Amino acid sequence: MRIRAGILLASALVQLSAVSAQRAATLSGTWSVEAAAADVVSPDGSEKWSFVAISGTLQLEHKDKSVTGSWQGRMPAPWALSGSSDGKTFELQTEVRDVPMSRNGEQQTVARRWIFKGTIDGGTLTGSMGLSEGDAAATPSQPFTATRAK
């Protein structure tokens, strides 16, 4: 009788593990990203940023907690990215690149990286995305949503 109960308990645990694994969201795949135009004010109210609408594609591979892949936005070549996810939340950042920009009417090149942070809900990602200066962690960001390509 104890052996039978032990076998039933072991079987139930295996089935529960399989169900839990199926419920853990994965970022693997292709995601269509949309971010609406947004005006953002710094927490202290001293600065205001205006973001244009942007769309692009995240191509991701999620293994354990590690995420790798690429971000393809307006630039001609995709940006390599890496990050982590616990199956509920994620944080991704691209490589640092020199990006052309105009400041006070003067053309410049500045080092920037994209940072994506958010949550996973089945086939939808929601969060914030922004261009950070070089290795800086703090950056103004705009909300985005992404849907998994079918």
Domain positions in the chain are 26-148
Q: Which SS3 state, helix, strand or coil, does residue 58 take? A: strand
Cα–Cα distance for residue pair 58/147, rounded to 1 Å: 10
Please determine, for residue 10, whether its predicted confidence score (pLDDT) is greater than 60.
Answer: no
What is the per-residue pLDDT across 24-71, written as a single tens digit (0 to 9) for each? 589 999 999 999 998 888 778 888 888 899 999 999 999 999 999 999
Q: Which helix (H) or strand (E) holds 22?
A: helix 2-23
66, β-bridge pairs:
63, 84
Place of tokens 């703090």: 138
Sequence-ordered list of residues with C-beta below 8 angstroms from that of 129, at least 6 positions apart, any chain? 33, 35, 54, 114, 115, 116, 117, 141, 142, 144
> What is the per-residue pLDDT for 9?
43
Q: Which CATH class is domain 26-148?
A: mainly beta
Q: Report residue 31 as tokens.
A: 């995601």
Q: Report residue 8 as tokens.
A: 């039933």
User: Predicted confidence band at 138 (pLDDT cuts at 50, 70, 90)?
Assistant: low
Q: Report residue 103 as tokens.
A: 């400041």
Please determine, for residue 18, whether its predicted confidence score (pLDDT) is greater than 80.
Answer: no
Selected residue with higher pLDDT from 145 and 43: 145
- Residues 11/13/18/22 CA torsion (nearest 10 deg): 150
Q: What are phi and psi of 14, to 5 degrees?
A: -60, -45
Q: pTM for this one?
A: 0.78
